[in-house]
Structure 1
Amino acid sequence: MRAISGLWRWRRNPLRRATDLTEAWVALVALVLIAVAAPVTGVLVGATAQDSLQRSAREQQHERRLVTATVVRVLDGAPVETDPDTSAVGDSHSRVLADWTAPDGGHRRGPALAKLRSPRPGGRFALWTDRHGRVTARPLDSPTATTHAVLAGAGAGLLTAGLVECGRRLVVWRMVRRRYARWDRAWDRAGPDWGKAGTGS
């Protein structure tokens, strides 16, 4: 990282400019922020996401029920893949019209995705529903919630480090532009006499 390479500017050197020392301080501040602020941000975001996702997982597990459905008939359409995070290779879902009993005891009928290789009328399969018997997705489980929280925390930490580095580069770029502007002004003042023999005599 270039932030570390900027620290050499603290060395005593008669050619060291004030801007060199400023660049070294900017590099040190950026290094400290990347080493401290980025991990702290990642931990805080990860912990917040963990709390939220675990709460959501508990609510979903409390509200959703696994029921047994019976295939009435196969609906038109090719098998489809669902829930790519948990589907094993080769698992296919077929669209069927199914009957099931809702958790409240009511009879339900509607389209559903059956995890059956060759669904036939009368075939049985597991189906997730809400309390009222409406078809819903599988509830979020605790390990998956933790994985998403860890990814969110890592992403937040990396984003913070990237923003700090971008800020450092922007500050250094502006300092270099100002330095070049000062050089141009100094050159313009000295330029008219450049190369003339006997100048100043």
Structure 2
Amino acid sequence: MAGVWRWRHNPLRRATDRFEAWLALVAFLLLMLAAPALGWLCGARTDAALTASVRAQRADRHLSTAVVVRRLAASRLVPDPEISTGRMARTEVVARWHAPDGSARTAAVTTASRNAKPGTKVWVWTDREGDPAPRPMDLPTAHTHAALAGFGAAMLAALLIECGRRLTVRRMTRRRYERLDRAWAAAGPDWGRTGTGS
């Protein structure tokens, strides 16, 4: 705003100076209004989609009681992108459980249970057919992903606005220098010499 006001009545102003000041003002308003609005919109839509996905996963996946047949590996910290708690100690085991139709299932699964000795009962996530399934995403993780998506969209919009402004100013400056070079060339090599009529 100060740039627009400063060039308002300045007798040395050029059209490009005024345009550059207005461009800076418009870019500032877009950065303050449009980028956050776009970020909010993207975050809200992502949150709605992820919340629906969480509901679908919760409807499709169930906790089943399984019996440990044997242990495959020692406990280790495993990152789980579906939950907000981050890393947790998980143990790989071969477990046996019954599917909803009553058939027995055996598969390698990971469990959060610290006691993973053969014969121990543990909880495993299964789908509707009784096959092992990943843990469903929890709501705090969905909200976190949505907030990050909104923030990323706002930052990307701000970056594009600023890059557009800088490219426009660079092009204007290049054209200004080209006009100045042409004006100097038109003045000729005798510019400023005595006796040349200048």
If the length of structure 2 is used for normalisation, what is the TM-score? 0.88
Identify, as 1 or 2, the structure richer in strand: 2
Out of 59, 63, 72, the position equivalent to 1:66 is 63
For 1:2-21, what per-residue CA distance to the aligned partner results, in whole angstroms no more than 9, with x for missing partners?
A: xx674455342111111000
1:1-201 map, 5 Å: 6-7=3-4, 9-75=6-72, 79=76, 81-83=78-80, 85-87=83-85, 91-117=88-114, 119-200=116-197
CA–CA distance in 2 between the matches of 1:42 and 1:183? 42
For residues 48 and 183 of structure 1, what CA distance do their matches in structure 2 show? Answer: 51
Kept after mapping to 2: 8 A contact 1:9/1:20: no
Q: What 5-or-longer segments of structure 1 have no aligned partner?
A: none
C-alpha contact (below 8 Å) 2:68/2:118 kept by paired residues: yes
Gap regions ≥5 residues in structure 2: none
Provide Cα deviations, 1:61-83, integer angstroms capped at 9, x if missing partner. Answer: 01100112211012257746140
Cα distance per residue 1:103-154 (max 9 Å; x no partner): 3433210111122446321122211111111111111122221221121112
Q: How many residues align?
A: 197
- Aligned sequence identity (%): 52
CA–CA distance in 2 between the matches of 1:133 and 1:82? 24
Single out whichever of 116-125 and 130-139 deviates more from structure 2. Answer: 116-125
Partner of 1:81, secondary structure, is strand
Distance in 1 between residues matched to 2:71 and 2:77, nearest whole Å: 13
